[in-house]
């Protein structure tokens, strides 16, 4: 571990290299104890990180996966959109598990608020799209897109605004009133302003001292604190550089993370790209290496490929090296974390996508290892064919594989 930490430097980003759900949370959880600040830059409660510690499963949607580590500052950046009832629920869940995160939680005053009515607008927009085009985006309906729409239109509410409104119900009612009229006129959505007001006041009561200036994380940088950045979603879902329009509404690359946190690009000392040993996708959009039928079902069941946020079954397919190469170049990846290697243990043959043309993938077939890798922690003990699989990825992408997941548990990881 020490050799890996030295190679990472003081500011490390952990970024998904596919369409999300790669297992970023486990790498964050593993590394968090060696950093001072655990930061999340973008997205909202459409993210889901599952961590298994001593057999107990913890699912996070807004809080970084590293939140389980005591004495670590947790920072939610300006690039995020935050549904406050969900945040309060996660805080309470941690409290019941014996973890009081509030004293070490910091929320950027620039982060935007997701209201319940944003979820309703999300659903209406999907229905209108489907009716007009016969297709849909396949959003999580967590209100993320509409919240970012308000942000871009400069009609959103930020956490910092609670300092003006939080102590005054009258001011909140006035603020929510004009929003209700606008949403009803544009989308036919009814806003329960009393409920929204209650949510804001509850959050203000607990978090008023946790809302901090956007520059706070720059102060951490100046103090030479080690910062671990948790990416949300993944590269191919980036609003600018992903498979548009079937993308999320935020900027999911390493550059987007720096922007969302308010850190200068030069501060980033390393980037760990995270990819499954195969590939999955949720929602609509292209997926050249997708497999259906019995093989797809087998990967889904062995990998437990159901959304942590929605419970939706994920589309499954094989690894695409051209996508990994793109992600590595776009993010400046310095290390790979290949997750769920053990899911391929029973495969006699493992197709790997090596090129894509006109939406169709070209595969190179590798021999499977047909031997259990679950729980292995030493690269030398992996079956020879599994080692060849890892080296194949390194050779094609020119990025070293530093971490290899061999199971869901915190300790089931090979560190090279």
**Residues marked as catalytic:** 21, 49
Residue 174 has a CB neighbour count (10 Å cut-off) of 11
Helices (H), 10-115: 24-32, 84-96
Neighbours of 135 (CB within 10 A): 12
Tokens of 44: 């909202």
Buried b (16+ CB within 10 A) or exposed e, 38-74: bbbbbbbbbbbbbbbeeeeebebbbbbbbbbbeebbb
CA neighbor of 237 nearest in space, from 38, 47, 23, 27: 47
Tell me if 270 sits within 8 A of 9, measured CB to CB: yes
Place of tokens 């390493």: 254
Show the DSSP H helices in 289-371 as ranges. Answer: 293-303, 321-331
d(CA 309, CA 368): 32
Q: What angle do CA 237, 238, 239 make, to 5 degrees?
A: 115
| Cα 230 to Cα 20, 52, 108, 132, distances in angstroms | 12, 17, 15, 37
* C-alpha torsion 270→397→278→17, nearest 10: 40
């Amino acid at each position: 571990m020490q050799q890996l930490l030295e190679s990472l430097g003081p500011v490390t980003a952990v970024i998904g290299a596919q369409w999300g759900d790669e297992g970023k949370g486990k790498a964050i959880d593993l590394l968090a104890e060696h950093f001072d600040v655990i930061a999340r830059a973008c997205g909202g409660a459409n993210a889901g990180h599952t961590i298994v510690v001593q057999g107990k499963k913890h699912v996070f949607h807004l809080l970084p996966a590293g939140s389980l580590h005591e004495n670590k500052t947790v920072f939610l950046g300006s690039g995020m959109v935050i549904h406050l009832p969900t945040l309060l629920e996660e805080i309470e869940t941690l409290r019941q598990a014996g973890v009081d995160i509030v004293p070490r939680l910091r929320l950027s005053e620039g982060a935007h608020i997701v209201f319940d009515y944003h979820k309703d607008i999300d659903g209406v927009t999907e229905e209108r799209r489907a009716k007009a085009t016969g297709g849909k985006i396949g959003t999580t309906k967590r209100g993320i897109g509409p919240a970012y729409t308000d942000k871009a239109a400069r009609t959103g509410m930020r956490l910092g605004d609670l300092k003006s409104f939080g102590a005054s119900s009258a001011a909140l009612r006035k603020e929510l009133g004009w929003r209700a009229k606008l949403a009803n006129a544009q989308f036919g959505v009814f806003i329960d302003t009393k409920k929204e007001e209650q949510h804001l006041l509850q959050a203000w009561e607990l978090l008023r001292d946790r809302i901090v200036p956007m520059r706070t994380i720059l102060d951490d940088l100046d103090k030479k604190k080690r910062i671990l950045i948790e990416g949300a979603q993944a590269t191919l879902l980036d609003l600018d550089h992903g498979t548009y329009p079937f993308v999320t509404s935020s900027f999911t690359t390493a550059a987007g993370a720096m922007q969302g946190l308010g850190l200068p690009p030069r501060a980033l000392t390393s980037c760990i790209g995270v990819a499954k040993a195969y590939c999955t996708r949720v929602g609509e959009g292209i997926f050249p290496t997708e497999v259906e039928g019995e093989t797809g079902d087998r990967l889904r069941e062995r990998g437990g490929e159901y959304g942590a946020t929605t419970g939706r079954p994920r589309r499954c397919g094989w690894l695409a090296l051209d996508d990994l190469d793109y992600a590595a170049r776009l993010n400046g990846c310095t290390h790979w974390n290949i997750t769920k290697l053990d899911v391929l243990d029973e495969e006699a043959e493992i197709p790997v996508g090596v090129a894509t043309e006109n939406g169709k993938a070209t595969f190179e077939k590798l021999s499977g290892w047909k031997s259990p890798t679950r729980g292995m922690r030493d690269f030398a003990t992996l079956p020879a064919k599994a080692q060849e699989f890892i080296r194949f990825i390194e050779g094609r992408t020119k990025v070293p594989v530093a971490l290899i997941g061999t199971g869901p548990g915190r300790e089931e990881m090979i560190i090279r």
